Amino acid sequence: MKIHRFQGYIQSIYLVEYPDKLLLLDGCCRADLSLIENIISVQLKRPLTDLKLIVVTHMHPDHAGAAHKLKKLTGCKIASAKMSTQWYQGLKGRLMHLVDIGLAAWVAYRMKRPRKNLWYSPHLKVDYQLVDQDKLQGFEDWCVLTTTGHTDRDLSVWHQSSKRIYVADLMVKVKNRFIPPIPVNYPDQYRASLIKLHKLQPNSIMLAHGAEVELTAKDYDHLLTVAPTKPFTIWTPAKNKFKRLLMRKSG
């Protein structure tokens, strides 16, 4: 088993290679489709049909954007969290979907990436619905762990024998410090997920926005210290600023 890491459009791509099959640890961006085709067929010299399973850790554009098109191209299956509703459901959900695509485009601009189409379906069609500690179909040496907080359906993918784990957006690394992602929609769940990861004591952690890293006890302490105690989204700083202005005027 080999884990290959490639730089995607705005995130890292982790492709797991076996002699007879391939596993993609997340659904990537729509803009990554041609890159993934090239990786499999040119760099690894494998047929595209060797891709058997994609794990979609959550529904953001850089984690679910290529899943449906890859399934159509390769015939692979899609696994994700077992949920009774779609993340982008209803009018509010559709608006959030548009905002998230816009944010992904903004990140790409900041990273000086060429402008590309990031549109993808807001509704994920799942072949395998997974709960905590479920093994991956056809890849039983891997299982998923629920690590919610960023959204209500975040999954991490754990390779038990090597003690390596892909945590998607559970944390990001900025200026040599590990910090929570934006947003943290469910702060209590987020803190519980950090504690869960720490207790697991992985040998290494694969980040969606970064590389494979090792965390120290101080790193976990710092994450728990700076983790928000209330929901924190891209709108939170503006809302807080507006509240402060209102308080000054009323005072």
Which tens digit of pLDDT belongs to each residue from 15-35?
A: 999 999 999 999 999 999 999
Task: Please give the mean pLDDT across all residues of the chain.
Answer: 95
What was the pLDDT predicted at 235? 76
Give percent above pLDDT 70 in the chain.
Answer: 94
The region, left, alpha or beta by phi > 0 then psi within -120 to 50, assigned to residue 168 is left
Neighbour tally for 20: CB within 10 Å: 8
236 band by pLDDT with thresholds 50, 70 and 90: confident
Angle at which helices 217-226 and 187-200 pack, to 10 degrees?
Answer: 180
Q: Which domains does the chain have, with CATH numbers?
A: 2-226 (3.60.15.10)
What distances in angstroms separate CA 158 from CA 161, 164, 230, one per listed residue? 9, 6, 28
Residues 129 and 78: their CA atoms lie apart, in Å, by: 9
37's CB contacts (< 8 A; 6+ apart) are 48, 73
What was the pLDDT predicted at 31? 98
What was the pLDDT predicted at 190? 98
- Against a cut of 0.75, is the pTM above it? yes
Contact 32, 9 (CB under 8 A): yes
Task: Give backbone dihedrals phi and psi of 197, rounded to 5 degrees, phi first.
Answer: -65, -45
